[in-house]
Amino acid sequence: MAVPEKKLADQTAEKIFQMIISQPQYIPGSKLPNEAELCQIFQVSRTTLREAIRTLVTQGYLEVQRGKGTFVSKRMSIRGDIGLGQLHAVQMRLQELFEIRLMLEPSTAMLACARGSDEEIAHILSIGEEVANRIHNGGDWDSADLRFHQAFVEACHNHFMAQLIPIIHRAVSETWNMIGDYPQLPDMVLRDNELIMSFLQDRDPQGVRLAMSTHLRHVIAALDFGMTDFMQML
């Protein structure tokens, strides 16, 4: 039995979205393959493909520029009217990125605590205070929190970490912008950062490593809770 054209277009839109989320070259503003290539990739007709692209344009994921092609929207966001599959794809990408961070950042924080100069430690602590102030004042705290974590990378004095972790941080930031806010995160960040900073101030490398690991595990758990909560609302 043939799949109705409308249902096939919806399935194709889902597959295109999955492609954008799963392949790192498709950042906001990047160009998708041309129509013929996309028809070949997804084994659909031009009519089905165009309907799928129209759906993604309406949802704000894609932009069509006449004479140039189809691009990932620079304002791509999955807030609002979204499919569960689309939310789950972004959710899984974000969780996987935090799992990579869990593998790397506790050790990075430990090295920063052991190797960082007094000035570098003071810099980390000052950014941590900035994060706390922004959360208390209802400001944009997540960009400051990213700088807080990046400051550990700079203080660990490991050339390869300094190249690798910022790439992961950028991917986290781009993905987080698509998925929206988690209301439970600010209070969690306040508590976890306070513990991290306490160990850092005491120059306790193992304490910092454990506190950073605990924080990242808390975030992963919050992401998983957020997905469960969303599914219960359906």
Residue 162 counted as domain residue: yes
Q: What is the pLDDT of residue 197?
A: 97
Question: Is residue 54 domain-shared with residue 92, that is, in the same domain?
Answer: no
Question: Is residue 144 domain-shared with residue 122, that is, in the same domain?
Answer: yes
Q: For the chain, how many structural domains are there in total?
A: 2
Residue 79 counted as domain residue: no
Closest CA relative to residue 63, chosen from 89, 42, 32: 32
Q: Which residues contact 203 (CB under 8 A, 6 or more apart)?
A: 113, 114, 121
Per-residue pLDDT of the chain (234 residues; tens, 9 = 90+): 445 555 888 888 888 887 876 676 777 788 999 999 999 999 999 999 999 999 888 877 888 888 889 998 876 554 444 454 555 666 677 788 888 999 999 999 999 999 999 999 999 999 999 999 999 998 888 889 999 999 999 999 999 998 889 888 887 876 666 555 566 788 899 999 999 999 999 999 999 999 999 999 988 887 765 444 433 333
Question: Is residue 67 domain-shared with residue 94, that is, in the same domain?
Answer: no
Question: Is residue 117 domain-shared with residue 163, that is, in the same domain?
Answer: yes
Is residue 154 within 8 A of residue 110, CB to CB? The reply is no
Question: Is residue 93 domain-shared with residue 181, that is, in the same domain?
Answer: yes
Residue 90 counted as domain residue: yes
Query: CA-CA distances (angstroms) from residue 66 to 33, 53, 59, 176, 186?
Result: 15, 14, 19, 30, 42
Q: Which of 72, 102, 124 is the last residue of a domain?
A: 72
Query: Tell me, what CATH number does 132's domain have?
Result: 1.20.120.530
**Eight-state DSSP code of residue 143:** H
Question: Is residue 211 domain-shared with residue 126, that is, in the same domain?
Answer: yes
Query: Tell me, what CATH number does 36's domain have?
Result: 1.10.10.10
Residue 210 counted as domain residue: yes
Q: Which helix (H) or strand (E) holds 148?
A: helix 142-156
Question: Is residue 216 domain-shared with residue 108, that is, in the same domain?
Answer: yes
Distance from C-alpha of 146 to C-alpha of 142, rounded to nearest angstrom: 6
Question: Is residue 145 domain-shared with residue 212, that is, in the same domain?
Answer: yes
Q: Which helix (H) or strand (E) holds 178?
A: helix 159-179
Question: Is residue 62 domain-shared with residue 101, that is, in the same domain?
Answer: no
Query: CA-CA distances (angstroms) from residue 124 to 131, 140, 147, 149, 163?
Result: 11, 18, 9, 8, 19
pLDDT (tens digit per residue) in 33-83: 999 999 999 999 999 999 999 988 887 788 888 888 999 887 655 444 445
Facing residues of 63 across strands?
71
Q: What is the pLDDT of residue 182?
A: 63
Q: What is the pLDDT of residue 231?
A: 35
Residue 9 counted as domain residue: yes
Residue 181 counted as domain residue: yes
Question: Is residue 38 domain-shared with residue 104, that is, in the same domain?
Answer: no
Question: Is residue 106 domain-shared with residue 49, that is, in the same domain?
Answer: no
**What predicted TM-score, i.e. pTM, was given to this entire model?**
0.62
Domain holding 48, by residue range, is: 5-72
Q: What is the pLDDT of residue 22?
A: 65
Structure tokens at 198: 């306490």
Distance from C-alpha of 217 to C-alpha of 83, rounded to nearest angstrom: 27
Is residue 175 within 8 A of residue 95, CB to CB? The reply is no
Question: Is residue 49 domain-shared with residue 133, that is, in the same domain?
Answer: no
